[in-house]
Amino acid sequence: MDPITCKIVGAACLAHQVGPESRDDLAKSSTDCPELRSESTVARMKSAKSLDRSKLPRSLGVVTVGGHVRRPGLVKITEGMSLAVALEKAGGVTEFAAVKRARLVRNGRSLPCDLGDTTSASEPVLAGDVLEIPQKTWIGK
């Protein structure tokens, strides 16, 4: 669904941010925002009610990816997600990343993880995992 932009609300997908009972009220409300009064916006908001959420990928929790990655933070886990895919969803590594010395913290245990190796990179992620990518040393390792 396209975001709706107006001076009152800002850039937002209003149909997903309000409950189903509020969507009609929001679409009918008199406001000075022409985007909210347009027929196409009202149609998009009503169609969001009937969105089949069973076809959307289901999140199985989150994994935290940190260190020398482009977008550190939480990554939603989807079915069959590997460490390599989680790293890719975090924007990939920076030029200073030491992927051969990555650490996977799972259930309170810190495990070494060589993400340059396809076996380690294909390891499935679990909810609550923390993947930490350290900085290279001065000799580049």
Of 3.40.50.460, 3.10.560.10, 3.20.20.70, 3.90.420.10, which CATH number belongs to 62-133?
Answer: 3.10.560.10
Higher pLDDT, residue 67 or 27: 67
pTM: 0.58
Q: What is the pLDDT of residues 86-105, one digit of tens each?
A: 999 999 999 999 999 999 99
Domain boundaries, the chain: 14-53, 62-133
**Following DSSP, what letter does each residue of the chain receive, concatenated?**
-PPB--TTT-SB-HHHHS-HHHHHHHHHS--S-HHHHSHHHHHHHHHHHT--GGGSPPP--EEEEEESBSS-EEEE--TT-BHHHHHHHTT-B-TTB-GGGEEEEETTEEEEE-TTSHHHHTPBP-TT-EEEEPBP-TT--
